[in-house]
Each structure stands twice: as C-alpha cells, then as structure tokens.
C-alpha cells in the first residue's frame, strides 16, 4: 500500500508525432530531465517507486486509495492504476516546479458524430449527412458548455430507407423540413465563430473513429460542390487516443464507456446523443491526465466549383492510388486481414459500411 508520506504526483494518416505544442503562458517553462548522462532525475526515481507499488495493488486497494484521495473510483483495474499514477505524477512534478502533465494543448474540443443516409448491405451507397451535431467541451473546466444541432435535407437520395430511419431514429418529415447541408455548415461555422474558436481559443475536432471526417464529410462536400472545411483536416480519433493512453485494445463507444464504469446515456445512433457520450469519454481522459492531441489527418480532393476560399484548399496526396472513396472501400474489403495493424487502423472505417449496430 502507498505510504502516507508519499505525496506529489479519405486518406487517413496517423499524426501523433506532429502534436501541437502547449501554450507557453499556461504552463511552467521548466522541465524535469529524465536522463542526464548516466543519472536519472530524482523525481522520476520516486515516481518509478510509486508506480511499482501501484502495480502491486489489488482493485479494492486501488479504489480505497482513490476514494481516500477523493478521486473517481469507477473503471477497470488498468484505468484505476493509470488514474492513481497520474495523480502522484502531477503532484510530484508540481512540487518539483516543473510542468505537470494534464495541461491541455487545446482550449476546446468539438465532438462531432454525423448520421448519414444508408442502405442495408450496400457499401457503395452515396451517404449524405442528415444529422449535424457539435458538442463543445471546455478542456480547462472539463465540462460540456454548448451544443450545435441541426438536421440536413439529402439531395441525391431524398427519401430515407426504412433501414436508415430505424437505425438513426430520423424520420422523413424531419429531413424534408430541414435545409441542405451547405446552409447548415455555414450556421455551424457561425456558431464556432461565436465562441471565437480558432481566433482567441484553440480547438480540435473529436470523432469516434475515422469515418466522420474521412468519408461522410468528404463525400458530402464533394456532392455539395463546396470546399472541405479547414478545421476538418486534422482531428482526434477518440478510439485511438483511448487505447493508447490506457494501454488497452481498440474499443467501440459503448465498450469505452463500460471500461470507464459509465453507461451510455440516450439513444445509440442518435448523432447528438453519441456526441455527448464521446464528450464524456474525452472529459474523463482529460481528468485522468491525458493531453488529447490530433492523431489523424486527411488528404482530400477539392471540388472544381463553389470554392469559398483559397486558404482552405487541401491537396490530395500524390501518393494516393485510389481515385474515389468507393474504390477505397472496395479495396479495403478485398484486402485480407493479414495483420493486427490492418485491423487496428481500418476496421473502424469498414464497421459503419457494414452497417453493424455494435
């Protein structure tokens, strides 16, 4: 058991190595050196000893210690260990007057989980966005502070399939009375401007997997003949961030919540409810000391018409051999699942197109 005297603790690409730096005015500039020649900074020696003790603790001992420290006691044993280790790490580094972990790269997160038109067992269906939610998380107060939510009228396939309405809960009357995507996107960006996102405050988009930006938004912008928004070029894949931080397998939304000791709130496949639950996971990651940074980015083709601003143009990678999103999906389906790497990086993208409700 820890001694009482211890205190102080399209083309989706990985982008974890290109994380944006923390704002200098928000953190102490001094840093502890992990290695100085053959010597290890004393603060890390102490943290190593603490971590060893934590690794030997049972689940009950971990919960008892977290309760004593007035910390969250929910979650699996691995998460409890990570939470307790981060607590002592933050306190130790603060006491040593160096930058503590847990400071965030961004001021805000925008959680987006689109719902789109779909047809059962049709991977080549032209998905159009029909629900556009945005849940705003303040990274410093670690709470949801605002929401954007509108429905969109589909154009290519204006009549929803029965499968789509059953899956998403969105009725034909709802989309018939909505405006088309470009108008909704413009209001979304006005909402972002109201919060001075990208002007006075830094922010990042958060999604549950890669397909919201790499497939749905890209296809929709192509259909609508509008440029892909610059804020969607890079984003945080919460599944990837979660599995990396907690050193666990890749999980879906419900599994991540259960692993944190939480339950899904609302109706699954409702874009707004999904977004709120993704936000809850992001908030818990922040509370546990994770600095959420953009870990995926996308090269996309810009439409030939309707360009709004040259500054938003995004060139498609010349190394991309695929000519269309449809070819990409077909190629992924044809590939054999020969390695764990393929499963980790691509099963999320294929999951929606198989239209599973997991």
The residues annotated with a catalytic role in the active site are 115, 269
Give the total residue count for the chain.
358
Look up the CATH number of the domain holding residue 159: 3.30.420.10
Of 67, 95, 123, the domain-final residue: 95
Residue 326: pLDDT band with limits 50, 70, 90 = low
| Residue the block writes with tokens 């929401």 | 147
Rounded to 10 degrees, the C-alpha dihedral 13/102/70/4 comes to 120
* 318 class by beta-carbon count within 10 Å (0-12 exposed, 13-18 middle, 19+ buried): exposed
Contact in structure between 214 and 233 (CB atoms under 8 Å) = no
Residue 317: pLDDT band with limits 50, 70, 90 = very low
Domain hosting residue 337, numbered range: 108-353
Residues 90 and 183 in one domain: no
Q: How many domains does the chain have?
A: 2
DSSP class per residue in 177-192:
TSEEHHHHHHHHHHHH
pLDDT tens across 238-252, in order? 999 999 999 999 999
Residues 248 and 277 in one domain: yes
Residue 358: pLDDT band with limits 50, 70, 90 = very low
pLDDT tens across 99-120, in order? 555 568 899 999 999 999 999 9
183: Cα within 13 Å, side-chain hemisphere: 9
Residues 300 and 151 in one domain: yes
Other beta carbons within 10 angstroms of residue 278's beta carbon come to 27
pLDDT at residue 166 greater than cutoff 70? yes
Contact in structure between 182 and 324 (CB atoms under 8 Å) = no
Strand pairing report for 179-180 and 129-138 = unpaired
Q: What is the mean pLDDT of the chain?
A: 79
Residue 300: pLDDT band with limits 50, 70, 90 = low
Residues 188 and 313 in one domain: yes
Coil, strand, or helix at residue 298? strand
Q: Is the dihedral of CA 195, 198, 200, 205 positive or negative?
A: positive
CA atoms of 136 and 132, how far apart (whole Å):
13
pLDDT of residue 3: 44
Measured in degrees and rounded to the nearest 5, phi and psi for residue 185 equal -60, -40
pLDDT at residue 327 greater than cutoff 80? no
pTM: 0.73
| 68-95 mean pLDDT | 89
Position with higher pLDDT, 111 vs 318: 111
CA atoms of 223 and 326, how far apart (whole Å):
14
> Tell me, what DSSP letter sits at residue 316?
P
Contact in structure between 125 and 92 (CB atoms under 8 Å) = no
Say what angle helices 271-287 and 238-246 make with each other, to 10 degrees.
30
Residues 91 and 112 in one domain: no
Q: Is the dihedral of CA 267, 271, 273, 279 positive or negative?
A: positive
Look up the CATH number of the domain holding residue 83: 1.10.720.30
- H or E element in which residue 17 lies: none
């Amino acid at each position: 058991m820890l001694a009482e005297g211890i205190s102080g603790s399209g083309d989706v690409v990985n982008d974890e190595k290109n994380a944006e730096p923390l704002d200098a005015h928000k953190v102490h500039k001094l840093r502890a050196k992990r290695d100085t020649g053959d010597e290890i900074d004393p603060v890390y020696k102490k943290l190593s000893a603490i971590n060893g003790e934590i690794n030997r603790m049972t689940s009950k001992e971990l919960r008892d210690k977290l309760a004593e420290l007035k910390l969250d006691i929910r979650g699996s044993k691995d998460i409890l260990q990570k939470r307790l280790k981060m607590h002592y790490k933050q306190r130790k580094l603060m006491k040593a007057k160096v930058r503590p972990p847990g400071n965030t790269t961004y001021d805000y997160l925008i959680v987006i989980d689109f719902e789109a038109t779909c047809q059962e067992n049709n991977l080549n269906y032209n998905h159009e966005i029909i629900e556009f939610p945005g849940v705003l998380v303040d990274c410093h107060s670690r709470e949801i502070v605002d929401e954007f939510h509108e429905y969109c009228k589909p154009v290519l396939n204006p009549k929803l399939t029965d499968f789509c309405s059953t899956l998403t809960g969105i009725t034909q009357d709802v989309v018939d009375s909505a405006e088309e995507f470009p108008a909704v996107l413009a209001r979304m960006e006005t909402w972002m401007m109201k919060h001075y996102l990208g002007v006075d405050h830094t922010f990042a988009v958060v999604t549950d997997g890669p397909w919201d930006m790499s497939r749905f938004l890209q296809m929709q912008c192509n259909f609508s003949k509008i440029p892909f928004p610059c804020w969607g070029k890079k984003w945080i894949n919460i599944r990837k961030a979660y599995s990396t931080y907690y050193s666990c397998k890749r999980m879906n939304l419900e599994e991540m919540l259960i692993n944190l000791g939480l339950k899904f709130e609302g109706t699954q496949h409702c874009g707004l409810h999904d977004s709120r639950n993704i936000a809850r996971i992001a908030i818990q990651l922040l509370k546990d000391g994770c600095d959420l940074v953009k870990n995926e980015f996308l090269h996309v083709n810009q439409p030939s018409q309707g360009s709004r601003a040259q500054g938003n143009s995004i060139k498609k990678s010349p190394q991309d051999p695929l000519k269309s999103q449809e070819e990409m999906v077909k190629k992924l389906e044809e590939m054999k699942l020969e390695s764990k790497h393929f499963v980790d990086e691509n099963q999320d993208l294929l999951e929606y197109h198989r239209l599973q409700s997991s």
